[in-house]
Amino acid sequence: MAKLKIGLGCVVAVVLAAGGLTYWQASSVLDQLRAGPKAAVVKAVQSELHRAPRRVLVRLPPEPSAQTILLVGSDHRSTGLVGARSDTIMLARVEPSRHRVALLSIPRDLYVAIPGHGHDRINMAFEYGGERLLTRVIRETFGVRIDHFFEVDFRGFKDIVGDLGGVWLPVDQRYFNKNVGTLSSNYANIDLQPGYQRLNGDQALAFARYRHGDNDFVRAARQQLLLRIVARDALGNDWNPLHVRRLALSLAKATTSDISSFGEVLSLARAIGQTPTRNIIRQTVNATPLLLDGADYLQASRTQLASTVRHWLIQPRSRKPRHKQLRKPAALPSAHLSPDGGRGRELLAGVSNGIRTCAPDALPSGFWWPEGNARSYVIADHPAIALYATGGSATRSFGCTPPGRTLRSWTTLQQRSAATAAATRSTLQAAKSIRSHGRSEAPASG
C-alpha cells in the first residue's frame, strides 16, 4: 500500500500559515483540522495525549514549555479509516526556552509490542487500532509523553505542492518503476531522471513514496529532504494574503489534529519561527536488521532505544563562541578516494553539450558509475547536465549493504549569458549516516 511520510514541515506550514491570517480566517483553518469524520479520530486520540508513559527510558529535567508532537503520514484510500496504515512516523520535540526543535524518525518496520496483537511492525498499530493505538504504542515504546498529534493524508500532499507551483529538488539517481501487475513491479509508478529539477505534485509524491529497492533509512532521508524543501517554500517571503490562505486551507484539509485554539497555534508558530536552523536536530532510531519467517524488520533493544531518546532529547544546542575569534572546526575524517580511470570525465564528455565542466576523477572506495547515469537537460531555459555514482546504498535488502554508504550526485548548470558554471554535490545519506542527518544542496547558478 502506498504511503507518504509527513513531518515537521507540515506542522510548521500549518501553524505559521494560520498565524499569518486574521483571527476569523485562522479559526476557519483550524476548524478543518477536525471537520467531518476527523472529529471522531481527534476524540479517540485525545484520551492518549498528555499521559505519562508506564516506563521512562531517559529522565529529563523539567521544562514546562516543551511539547512533544506526534506526526503521522497515512493512506486512507482503500477502506476509509479501517485498515489504513501509517508510513514511517516522526516525533517532534519543540523546546521554546532552548530555541530548539528535535525530530525523531521512526522506521515503520520497527518491531515492537502492540497491546492485544503481540509483536509486529510499528505501523501495524495504526492498522489494528488507528491513531489512538499508534499513539499509545509510541508513547510506551519510547517512554515519552505526547502532547499533540498531526496526521496528514498523502492525498492532500499533491495539492500542497501544486499550490506552491512545484518544488525544486536534487534528484540523486534514476527512479523508475512501471506497475504491470507483477509481484516485482507491485509499487507505485515513477519515472524521474537524475539532476536538479522542478517536480510537480505527482512527481514529488512518487519521490517521497518510492520504496522499490530502498530500505527505511534511505526512504526516511529522502522524505525528510522533500519535507524540508516544502516547508522552506511554504514559509518563503511571498506573504500574499490570498496565497497564504489557500495554502493554509490545503494543508488543513489534508491534516487531522487536536490543535484547536488560536493561542496554541501562535505559541507553536512563535517557538518554531524563533528556532535557528542550527538548533533543528534530526535523529533516526538506532536499530538493527531482523529477519523473521522470511520478512524484514528492524529491532531495537531497550539500550538502543534509550540511546536514541537521549540523543534526540538531550543533545545540546549549538552555541556561539564567547570570543570573536572563531574556533577552527575539527577536521572531518576523509574518505579514501580511488581513481576512476577517467570514467567520470568520459561520461560527462558525452553529454556536456558545450558546457564547461569540472569532472570528478575519483570515487570513494566501493562506489562506481552505473550505466545510463549521465544526462543533459534544461533548467529554466539554461543547459544543464547531471551525473551520479552509487555505493549500493539503495538496495532494499538490509543485509546486502554495509552501513554508512551514500549516493552522490552532481548537477552542473550554466547560464547562457555569463558562460560560467557552478557545480554542487547533493548527498542522500543512507543507513548509518542517515542516523545523524540527511543533507542535500541545490546547485547555484554562476
DSSP 266: H
What CA dihedral angle connects 53, 59, 62 and 67, to 10 degrees?
Answer: -50
Q: Which three cell numbers stand for residue 121?
A: 511492525
195-199 and 167-171 as β-strands: parallel, antiparallel, unpaired? antiparallel
Element (H, E) at 271: helix 262-273
Residue 407 pLDDT > 50, yes or no? no
Pick from 133-137, 290-294, 394-398, 414-418: least confident:
394-398
Closest by alpha carbon to 71, among 127, 151, 163? 151
DSSP string, 142-161: HT----EEEEEEGGGHHHHH
Closest by alpha carbon to 373, among 338, 363, 167, 445? 363
Over residues 292-312, mean pLDDT: 93
No. of helices (H) and no. of strands (E), the chain: 12, 21
3-state secondary structure 69-81: EEEEEEECCCCCC
What CA dihedral angle connects 27, 29, 34 and 36, to 10 degrees?
Answer: 110
Helix (H, G, I), strand (E, B) or coil at 429: strand
Pick from 88-97, 305-314, 324-333: least confident:
324-333
Distance in Å from the first CA to the final CA of the chain: 43
Q: Is residue 393 a contact partner of residue 407, using CB atoms and an 8 Å limit?
A: yes
> Would you state the pLDDT for residue 316?
54
Closest by alpha carbon to 20, among 192, 208, 246? 246
- Residue 21: pLDDT band by 50, 70, 90 thresholds? low
Average pLDDT, the chain: 75
Residue 414, phi then psi, degrees to nearest 5 = -125, 130
Q: Is residue 196 a contact partner of residue 173, using CB atoms and an 8 Å limit?
A: no
Alpha carbon distance 203, 379 (integer Å): 16
Residue listed under C-alpha cell 512545484: 166
Q: Is residue 124 a contact partner of residue 85, using CB atoms and an 8 Å limit?
A: yes
> Would you state the pLDDT for residue 42?
95
Alpha carbon distance 153, 133 (integer Å): 18
Closest by alpha carbon to 348, among 380, 388, 379, 378? 388
Domains of the chain as residue ranges with CATH = 8-164+200-314 (3.40.630.190), 337-434 (no CATH)
What percent of the chain is predicted at pLDDT more than 90?
A: 25
Closest by alpha carbon to 397, among 216, 144, 152, 171? 216
Q: Is residue 427 a contact partner of residue 407, using CB atoms and an 8 Å limit?
A: yes
Q: Which three cell numbers stand for residue 84?
A: 489504513
Query: Could you give the maximum distance between any two Cα atoms of the chain, in Å?
Result: 66
pLDDT higher for 384 or 444? Answer: 384
Q: Which three cell numbers stand for residue 37?
A: 469524520
Over residues 126-135, mean pLDDT: 93
> Would you state the pLDDT for residue 14?
53
pLDDT higher for 9 or 125? Answer: 125
Alpha carbon distance 307, 304 (integer Å): 5
295-299 and 288-292 as β-strands: parallel, antiparallel, unpaired? antiparallel
Over residues 349-363, mean pLDDT: 79
> Would you state the pLDDT for residue 31?
85
